[in-house]
Amino acid sequence: YGSMCGRFDQHTLPYRYAGYIDALLRAAPDEPSLRYNVAPQTRAWVARTTREGARELTPLLWGLVPWFAEDPKKAVKPINARCETVGSRPMFRELIARRRCVVPVDGFYEWQKTSGGRLPYYIRMADDAPMLLAGLWDRWRRDDAEPIESFTILTTPSNPMIAPLHDRMPAIVDRADLERWLDVKEQDAAAAAALLRPFPAERMRGYPVSRRVNSANNEGPELIERVDTGLLL
């Protein structure tokens, strides 16, 4: 499915994300805490358009459980999907047309293979604004079972900054394109897909961080602090 973005940072207070993208904050009793190391199969803040046309920020599970899954525990649950093929894959074809979302993050992590092992880098916007990752969401429901709302993050080919680390990168929605990306009534799948392209490298920055981020059990602001390896992107 184009796996690439497997860890991100969402440590900003949710009402700040909501303000940045002009969304209503829909609180939840089990809403996620502030995290510097968000891993798959946990809940994260996601913005989407409601049936009534409002924009809301709400927690969803990372790892898409499609509506047609017989057993969510046995479903594949992709965390990423390639933007080049979402229009043709049965799991995503309907979602790119009617269930688009963005995941506001402070940054994401990617790893570089070195002779000494995998070295993590933290990638963020050059101006430190929230980064808006393009995603798709779905709702699974069966009889008396608790409904599951989940999402996947779309990926594009890498820009020149990310290319030394990986050949894929998360699809990032420009804030100026946010209305068009989330407007599923006026913008069809083809128009939305046209917004997905490698984000300009000059608007991003990245630097090496502690290997402690390699474990999803580790948390805290020190995970996004630069470490001196002599290597920069």
User: How large is the C-alpha radius of gyration of the chain?
Assistant: 17
Helix ranges, the chain (H): 14-20, 90-98, 178-182, 189-193
Does the active-site annotation cover 94?
A: no
Pair 5, 153: CB distance under 8 Å: yes
Active-site choice (5, 83, 101, 149): 5
83 assigned to active site: no
**Both tokens of residue 67?**
């509506």
Measure the CA–CA gap between 216 and 227, rounded to whole angstroms: 19
Which of these is catalytic: 94, 110, 149, 186?
110
- The structure tokens 């939305």 sit at 192
Strands ordered across the beta sheet of 35-38:
35-38, 8-10, 107-114, 117-125, 204-208
Give the residue from 140, 183, 189, 152 showing the smallest Cα distance to 54.
Answer: 183
Residues annotated as part of the active site: 5, 110
